[in-house]
A and B are shown apart, each in its own frame.
Chain A
Amino acid sequence: MRRSARRRALVAASLFVILVAASIAAAADAGANLESGVRSLATTLRLGISIASIGVYAPTWADCRLLAQRLVNLLEGIDGDHYVPSDEGDELSGMIPSIAWVGERCESHGLTAETRARALAASQNVSMYLSMALDSALAVLRTRSLESATKHMLAVYAFLSAACETPCTQSTTSLVPAIRTIMSLLGVEAEDID
């Protein structure tokens, strides 16, 4: 009887230890997922800025449209309303769904209340910048003149740069918190966007 009770207690203790270890591992994994998600988003953002910067100088409307469609794909992801499969055949998660996911994860992530609030505010800023970039990219697709397409592509570039929170070199200009702030708050190195 006593031996049985001791065995039960041992099993319960083992289960507790396993559960604690599992929850700690899950939390660590979630943190790693969030960081890798933010890092991936920053990388995609940088790619988007590169494409937009090329698109601004597209020699023809068709070239500008081609690059705008790629940007729409990057922004919306494979489940987007305006996603058009490309020859690349890549499975894009989309920057807009990604930043929404980052925001959700920030809420459940083990951040202090103040840090969480700042991260959420920054993610909302990024989300809005990306939405405005999407609107401009779609405007490029709608227009049929190179001048107008260039104007909208410039807007895409500006919104993506703002989302990237790109600082002006040696400038004291204040920045609206965006992806760089999120990376800083999460302790992710900003080398992916530098």
Chain B
Amino acid sequence: MLPSSYPCCVTMTLHGRPFRAFLTAVAAVCCLTALGLGLFTQVHLRVVADAFEDRSVSYVQAFASSALLWKEDPATLEAAARLLLGGSAVFVQVSVDGRLIVDVRSTIVADIRLPPASYTALERTLPTDAAYLDIAVALDGSSVTPSDYARMGILLASVHAEAWNTAWIVAASGLGFVLLVSTLLAWALLTPARGKAGVTVTNDTPTSQTVIAGPLHIDFDTRRVLVHGKMVRFTPKQFALLSLLAQRPGTVFSEREILATVWPDSAYADSKDIKQYVYLIRKRLNAAAPGAKGLIETVPGYGYRVLSSADDLSLTEH
């Protein structure tokens, strides 16, 4: 019969499998975040581009309304057009009665021949590879007036820059989210670990508990002990003693602790019994795997311990 404190101690030790779970979870979060960011970026760019096009068309329409008011004063109209060149506009044209009364351009389009005006917003490219929206609207608001129109070329670089700025901010937030989730996962998965490295407790189901300490493998459900893959049979007391030592490999258990745990109801058990049982356990381990008796070490004056992977386990190798 196992001591009552035993299962509790078992569940406190960890090894590689939870760490792998942690890495898997982090990788999954990273992949999902990257996928989300990718989707967001694409959607965001599309939405921003659409909104930019809508605003740009309204911008040109507002300018056309003003141009209609100022068409008798070309100097003022040209001054207003030049003002717009200081922003996203690369060229501004106003045509009245088929004659260009305003044609102002920034230096990057000063010498190029512009394609004919189109009454839909068209994305075109300059010789410098800069993309721009070419928008022409009728001065009087009608859709078909080839002679009276206001036309503007609006660079897309600015909206792309704004969209990418937002995307980078979201990406940075996503990275922060991944770090936060990773930290939380690490805390959730690794904090319960109390055991030493090289020891694994699996608790796949409430009824399946196993301790692995180097070559030693103990299954509590079946009460089986394997050393280097070979099964070794123990009496219940031997099994209880070995299990106690194996629950915290590397930790020295005093004779008093062992007596209190393995022989809790016996007033007569003493250190000789412990020594005897340790001897028998070593003997059985060694019979199964030569050298495995070294798995249990006597610490003179203190007690006994099962070697952890941090210890030199070469004695236990075949």
Contact = CB atoms under 8 A, between A and B. Distances in A.
Contacts of B158: 59-60, 62
A147 to B, nearest CB: 11
B59 A58 contact: yes
List 4 tightest A-B contacts by C-beta distance, closest first: A63-B87, A50-B66, A57-B58, A57-B59
B287 to A, nearest CB: 79
B52 to A, nearest CB: 6
A125 interface: no
A150 B109 CA distance: 29
Contacts of A57: 55, 58-59, 61-62
29 contacts: A46-B69, A47-B76, A47-B80, A50-B66, A50-B70, A51-B80, A51-B83, A54-B62, A54-B63, A54-B66, A56-B62, A57-B55, A57-B58, A57-B59, A58-B87, A59-B56, A59-B158, A60-B52, A60-B159, A60-B162, A62-B87, A62-B158, A66-B83, A86-B83, A87-B82, A87-B86, A88-B79, A88-B82, A88-B83
Contact of A59 (B55, B80, B86): B55
Contacts of A60: 52, 87-88, 158-159, 162
| A interface residue count range (under 10 / 10 to 19 / 20 to 34 / 35 or more) | 20 to 34
B59 A67 contact: no
B154 interface: yes
Main secondary structure on chain B at its contact with chain A? helix
Contacts of A124: none
Interface residues of B, number: 26
B84 interface: yes
Interface in A24-64: 46-47, 50-51, 53-54, 56-63
Given A51-B80, A57-B55, A66 B65 contact: no
Given A47-B76, A54-B59, A70-B83, A63 B66 contact: no
A53 B66 contact: yes
B83 A59 contact: no
Contact of B59 (A62, A63, A70, A86): A63
Interface string B13-50: 00000000000000000000000000000000000000
A50 B77 CA distance: 10
Given A54-B66, A57-B58, A58-B59, A63 B88 contact: yes
Contacts of A46: 69
Interface string B82-96: 111011110000000
B55 A58 contact: yes
Interface string A55-89: 01111111100110010000000000000001110
Contacts of A88: 79, 82-83
A90 B62 CA distance: 24
| Residue of A54, A70, A90 with highest tally of chain B CB at under 10 A | A54
B200 to A, nearest CB: 54
Given A51-B80, A60-B158, A60-B162, A66 B69 contact: no
Nearest to B56: A59
Nearest to A60: B158
B55 to A, nearest CB: 4
